[in-house]
Structure 1
Amino acid sequence: MVDYSNIELTVFDELESTNTYLLQKQEEEGLSSGEAVQALRQSAGRGRYDRKWEDTGGNMALSIYLEPDIAVQHLSQIAFVTAIAVVKTILAQGVPQESIRLKWPNDVLLEGKKCCGILIERAGDKGLVVGTGINVAAAPADKACILHYVSANLEDVVSAYLTSFKALYVAWQEFGFEHIVEQWMAYAWKLEEEIEVKLRHQQFKGVFKRLDKDGALIVKRSDTQEIQRITAGEIF
């Protein structure tokens, strides 16, 4: 095992899904906070809404089991913590800041194309599995990878990610979510621009104004001019 400041990483040549592996292990034998797995290749990677995350090898597929000292209603904040860790990881490889944007709730974009998948899943009563996939060496035609922009290798990306994630995770628990929101907003995609919001039972256009203190999307609707708070959905 490799120790990254209390994160114990085990590397596998191949897994179906790093998230699934940890979820099953937690159910069958239990896990300690900080246990992490990386797969050099995933055969059945998953994203939000059970979308398939394509993996052709050479990319980062990594999941961490954590038990945050945070109230249950705030656990979803870790998606924003993770997204900023990915931003810092990409910056560390030499990608210019202006090329990176964060699309609510947890997409990381390079030059407007998605380069990262983040999947947060509950594990037991107090645990979370934080899964992160970063396109390092390859990506589908409609996605981006780091090697499209700068020279990078997988080991450096993993090391930078774990270092950034650990620091942000500790800061989130010690100092709260406000500074996480501030960092996220610095990379916000389509801020003060019209976006399309897709919810479970409706779809509308509006101007993205900001995130609130809990990470909810604040939108001024184009049809009614009303301010609406969005806690779950997608934007385009």
Structure 2
Amino acid sequence: MSGETDAAEDISHLMPSGVRGLRYSICDSTNIRAQLLAGEAGQNAVRSSAWVQAVSQSAGRGRRGRPWVSRPGNLYASHLFYPTAPRDALRRLPFSVALAIVEALVAEGVNPESVTCKWPNDILIHDRKVAGILIESAMQAGQDIDHIVIGIGINLAHAPDDARFPATSVTDATGVSIAPEALLQDLARTLAVHLESWQSAPFEPVRQAWLARAWGLGRRQRITMGSGAGNNAGSFEARLKDLAEDGALVVMLDDGREKRLYAGDVFAAAAP
């Protein structure tokens, strides 16, 4: 653990009933702070959901440990909760979170027709990335889920210039200016509803709602299995066909076979 961290401000009044809220003007990473809360809860036997927000992060990260640029003006937040869902439900969780983010953005004035979801866990506006999701979980001895931390970064005011997938901010893409605190309130509300559904309701309605917003569906795209920006060893092109019931991306290969993917990144295919 590294990075500058100041004292947290209590923002529980902005959260749904029974949910704790903390805001840092700067911290290492909201996911790290949320994991520390989970550790404190384990020691004290007090297990309650919480949101951690930061104005900026000194050690923000995305999937596969990639750095997440964290200047003030965007939303950087993590949600800690203690689920009752079984371990195999984890693969379906990113799609519920993605829909919650879409609903929060729409509630703040973003045109719903402009927003799409890119497998496995990105949100786009006009085909450029505005949000990413990083989900981390801890297991109990019996392999049940102990707790989950959902990290969310949303480019509200600015976006990185060197992102692997073309990025934008909500303001640049739509002209809509959203305060991070206002969006966090909306997101805490929409995510609470989706998490309840994720734990107790069938996946099919979520699957259909996500597919209705799926970026690149039915088109040939490039899929990269490697983690490095220049690593094409695991890269191939295929047509995006479907989202499976377990959260896998179903693609159609050139030879007509279907393939299910459980990890990787999707990019626009090269122009012919």
Q: Which runs of 4+ in 1 moved over 3 A?
A: none
Q: TM-score, normalised by structure 2?
A: 0.81
Matched, 1:232 2:256: no
Output one character per residue of 1:122-154: Cα deviation in whole Å (capped at 9) or x when no partner. Answer: 134221111111111222234211222113222
Matched, 1:11 2:23: yes
Question: Bigger shift: 39-48 or 202-211?
Answer: 202-211
Contact 1:18/1:63 (CA < 8 Å) preserved in 2?
yes
**Helix, strand or coil for the counterpart of 1:40?**
strand
Contact 2:91/2:246 (CA < 8 Å) preserved in 1?
no
CA distance in 2, matches of 1:120, 1:214: 16
Contact 1:23/1:123 (CA < 8 Å) preserved in 2?
no
Partner letter of residue 193 of structure 1? R
Output one character per residue of 1:198-232: Cα deviation in whole Å (capped at 9) or x when no partner. Answer: 2256322111111011111111102x210111111
Contact 2:20/2:48 (CA < 8 Å) preserved in 1?
no
Percent identity of the aligned residues? Answer: 33
Larger Rg computed on CA atoms: 2
Matched, 1:38 2:50: no
CA distance in 2, matches of 1:157, 1:225: 43
Q: How does 1:197-236 map to 2 (within 5 A)?
A: 197-200=223-226, 202-222=234-254, 224-236=255-267
CA distance in 2, matches of 1:76, 1:66: 16
**1:99: which partner in 2?**
114
Q: Quick one: which of 189, 194, 200 aligns to 1:163?
A: 189
Q: TM-score, normalised by structure 1?
A: 0.93
**Helix, strand or coil for the counterpart of 2:178?**
coil
Question: In the comparison of the two structures, how many residue pairs are matched?
Answer: 235
**Helix, strand or coil for the counterpart of 1:52?**
coil
CA distance in 2, matches of 1:146, 1:118: 16
**2:180: which partner in 1?**
154
Q: How far did 1:32 drift?
A: 2.0
Partner letter of residue 64 of structure 1? H
Partner letter of residue 85 of structure 2? I
Change in Cα spacing, 1:227 to 1:124, as seen in structure 2 (3 Å) is closer
Structure 2, gaps ≥5 residues long: 1-11, 141-145, 227-232, 268-272
**2:6: which partner in 1?**
none
Q: Quick one: which of 27, 33, 36 aligns to 1:24?
A: 36
